[in-house]
Amino acid sequence: MTLSYRLMGVVNVTPDSFSDGGQFASAGAAISHARGLVAEGADILDIGGESTRPGAERVSVDEELRRVLPVLEGFAAARVRAQVSIDTSKAPVARAAIEAGAGVVNDVSALRADPAMVGLVAESGVECCLMHMLGEPRTMQRDPRYEDVVDEVKAFLQERLSFAVREGVREERIMLDPGIGFGKTVAHNLALLRRLRELTSLGRPLVVGTSRKSFLGRVLADAAGEAEPVALARRLPGTIATNVLALERGASVFRVHDVAPVRAALATAAATLNERWIPSTARSPTS
């Protein structure tokens, strides 16, 4: 067995993201942050101009473009050495991002929000990530319920995969994301992580995004005997643990804020889980 994986570094160009809202809202700050993530080992940079945190309001196409285009253009000018992903559910934003060099469309609606998105992805030949979400960001955490969360998420991802392929998207260009934290309780998120191997039967790379999420704050608070979820700054151990467990259960793309420590943990886990240790070629330092 040989395990391989990719790290997707998060670059939020938003004023209201749950983890770093406003911190990288300017193009200069976002580009500098992205270069730092690449230096830490990010393989993909996921650029988002609209928050998808619980309760977030939608923004217009024009506003989303205003936020992300200068960053994408800055990446090209700076020759940032990573694949670029655009985190959007709007086809006009995705099209502009692809024209600016993006090679992945990360659509949290799984091609449901904009009817034009699937045709754009098929026509352009970029990779895409299809994610499960119950409802939409404004409503997804209002008493989410499932008969069996893993079975239902799997069925949803299978249906969206089949839809994308029927519409001309090449299957080998599709990644699937169970949507940790998107319309799920703590118990739902833990069940998905525990049974992640069941989703690998869909035959596509699995993306996992647990980084700094609120369910980790709750789990860590319970472990420490604290009444309130622990703060964002204390969620890194939970992020690392869930990503290592997800690697062991078949995930291969990890969307994170803290690239360096997660990469180190995954490298150690992969060396342990592989039948033999395969040293990789040293990464070239970024300019």
> Annotated active-site positions, please?
213, 255
Contacts of 207 (CB under 8 A, 6+ apart): 8, 129, 131, 175, 176, 177, 251, 253, 254, 255
Is residue 65 within 8 Å of residue 102, measured between CB atoms?
no
Q: For the chain, what's the residue count?
A: 287
Residue closest to 69 by CA, chosen among 88, 83, 42:
88
Taking the C-alpha atoms of residue 125 and residue 188, their distance in angstroms, rounded to an integer, is 33
Q: Are 84 and 72 in contact (CB under 8 A)?
A: yes
CB 37 within 8 A of CB 45: yes
Helix (H/G/I), strand (E/B), else coil: 71: helix
Question: Token pair 């080992």 is at which residue?
Answer: 41
- Coil, helix or strand for 22? coil
Q: What are phi and psi of 250, to 5 degrees?
A: 115, -5
